[in-house]
Each structure stands twice: as structure tokens, then as C-alpha cells.
Structure 1
Amino acid sequence: MKFTPSEQLSIEGMTYYKSSSTRGNKEVFYDKYRNNLIVFDPHENSVAEMVMRFTNNVARRHLLKKLKCSKNTIVYWAQPNDFTLSEYIVFRGFDIERLKRKSHADIIDILSDSIQSTDNSFESRYRYVLDGVLRPYIIKNERKELIV
């Protein structure tokens, strides 16, 4: 199968191919070399590119660096409202081969169901799930200021 440019996403030297789970602007991309999945959930008037663009630069670089050196990782990347900063949650420990064939809505339901509790030590747009607990990433910029 050949992929057209609209069916692939190239970021930081990584190539993700659009999954059959994609419906409209609710896109799912798969990196077969690292077995990673990105599930985009843009606002109704937005697209995946805008979700990435509306992510804080430091937080986006942090995520892309993690994806470059991680395998079997899922990123739920969303823009909840028009013209607001995007947010992401990083998940591990899923059967990505099975998930990439599910619908966009089913993937989100499965990811949501895996969260058993939340670490509310501080609010952050950039989070990860470890042992069922949703936790904030501690990301700092060059001046050592916390990015939330």
C-alpha cells in the first residue's frame, strides 16, 4: 500500500502513518518502527497540525524526544477548545497492534478506563499514566521555570 502525504505525519525524523481508526479530524497515527500511536482529538474546528502547533514549545520538544527513544507508547493529544493550548497524556503498557485497529472513540474509552486515580499535586496540561495513576510531567524551560 502506498501512502499519500495526507496519510502520513512526519515529525522530528519520525514517520507516522494514518490508521484506519481515523474519522474526520479525529486522527490516529501509527509509527511501525517504534510501535507508537498518536491519537489526536482536536476541537471540532481544528486539525492535528493545529493541536501540535498549540502545544507549548518546550512541552512539545519534551514529548517528541520521548517518542524518539520510546517504544510501545500511546499519546492522547488534544485541543479542548479553539485557540487554547493543547494538552497530552502519555500511556504505556497497551497492546498497540490491537488498539490501532479500534475506532477513535473506542481507543479513547480504553485509555480513559485505564486511569484509576489522579495525582493532583499540581495542575498540568502535560501528563502521563503510571500504574493507573494520572500524573503531571515535570517539564522546565531553559530558565528552570515549570511548564504547566
Structure 2
Amino acid sequence: MRGVNADTSSTAAPAPPSLRGRLAVPAGVLAAVVGAFAYVGTVDPNQPGHYPVCPLYRLTGLYCPGCGGLRSAHAFVHGDFLAALRDNAAGVAAYLAFAVVWTVWAARAVRGRPVRIELRPVPMWTLGAVLLVFTVVRNLPFVGWLHP
């Protein structure tokens, strides 16, 4: 059968995903985060026995950058922002950073634009240095207001 093209497949590009499809992943991530915060808001980390103790604190008595994070999230959910900052200021900064990044992600998804988060070495090293300084400072005896 010469001259007859046996391939009848279309070479058209696939249709772009619908709005629902573009928002599926950001909505799923938000649902997971809201669920985690709802659980921590319901199950009080200030009551012993609900959550494990930080292994670094248990072994060394030193606070890691995450120590107090659950208590901070619990206070944040209940609207006690000063207690949330006292329990873990870095955690509160992370909650707010997540809200900003998620909003940008969702807005770009609505517009059908890709999200590119490129973490370059300088900001990553800066973040690591800030967390290291936060960890050292919160373990100093005269900075009790940063202890969870």
C-alpha cells in the first residue's frame, strides 16, 4: 500500500491541564498542612505522652532549631502568637514563609505558569547560618526567653 499513510495519530500538542488539575497539588499540600496543624491544635503538646521528646534534647540537654515547634504550632493555631514566638521563633518564621510561598505557588498555578524555586548556594548558606546562630543563642543561659 504505497502512498497510504498508516499512521493516523495526531501530532497536536496535548491540551493544557484544567484549572482543577493545576490546583490539585497545591490544594493537596495545603490540605496536608492544615490537617497537621488541626491535629497539633487538638492534641496539646504541652501534655506529656502525646509526642516524642526531641532526641538531641534528651541526649544532650541542648535545644535544636526545631525544639518547641509543636508547642509553637499549638499556640499559633489558638491565636497566641507571643507564646508561639517564645516557643520557637524560627518555626513562626517558617509558618509565615510557607504561607507566602504557597500563595505564590497557587497564584501561578491559576495562571498556568510554572513555579520555579531555585535555591542558590548563598541563600541556603545564609539560612543555615541563621539557624545555627539561632540554635547557639537559644542555648545560652542568659537568653531564657528563647527556650521552649
- Give TM-score, length-normalised by structure 2: 0.26
**Larger RCO, structure (CA 8 Å, separation 6 or more):** 2
**Greater radius of gyration (CA):** 2
Flag the structure with higher helix content.
2
Structure that is richer in strand per residue: 1
